[in-house]
Amino acid sequence: MSYEQPNRQGRTIREVEREIMARPTEHTSTNLNLDRMHAILDLLGHPESSFRVVHITGTNGKGSTARMTEAILRAYGLRTGLYTSPHLERINERIAIDGQELSDDNFIDAYEQMKDFIAIVDAQAAEQGQAPMSFFEVLTAMAIWAFADAPVDVAVVEVGMGGLWDATNVLDADAAIIGPIDMDHMQWLGNTVEQIATEKAGIIKPGSTVIVGAQPHEDEVMPIIEQAAREQGAAALWRDGQELEVVARQPAVGGQVATLRTPGGTYEDVPIDKFGVHQAHNALAALAAAEVVIPVNGALEGDLVGEALSQVRIPGRIEQVRTSPTIIIDGGHNVNAAQSLRDAIEENYDFEQVVGVIAMMKDKQVEEYLGILEPLLSQVVVTENSWRERVMPADELEAIAQKVFGPERVFREKSLPDAIQTAVDMVDAQDELGVGYGHGVLICGSFVTAGDARALLKERPNPDLAKPKAERV
What local confidence, expressed as pLDDT, does residue 323 receive? 86
DSSP 436: -
**What does the alpha-carbon distance between residue 434 and residue 448 come to, in Å, rounded to a whole number?**
31
pLDDT, mean of residues 296-304? 92
| 410 in Cβ contact with 382 (< 8 Å) | yes
Q: How would CATH label the architecture of 13-309? A: 3-Layer(aba) Sandwich (3.40)
CA of residue 443 relative to chain centroid, distance: 16
Number of separate helices (H) and strands (E) present in the chain: 15, 17
HSE toward the beta carbon, residue 375, CA cutoff 13 A = 8
Residue 61 has pLDDT above 80, yes or no: yes
> CA nearest 437: which of 452, 427, 423?
427
| pTM across the whole model | 0.91
| 196 in Cβ contact with 229 (< 8 Å) | no
Domain boundaries, the chain: 13-309, 319-457
Q: Residues 163-199: pLDDT tens digits? A: 999 999 999 999 999 999 987 665 667 779 999 999 9
Of the chain, the percentage scoring pLDDT greater than 90 comes to 81
What local confidence, expressed as pLDDT, does residue 434 receive? 61
**What does the alpha-carbon distance between residue 384 and residue 236 come to, in Å, rounded to a whole number?**
45
| 105 in Cβ contact with 7 (< 8 Å) | yes
Buried b (16+ CB within 10 A) or exposed e, 274-292: bbbbbbbbbbbbbbbbbbb
Instruction: Judge if the upstream peptide bond of residue 47 is cis by omega within 30 degrees of 0.
Output: no
The domain covering 319-457 belongs, at the CATH homologous superfamily level, to: Mur ligase, C-terminal domain (3.90.190.20)
Residue 1 has pLDDT above 70, yes or no: no
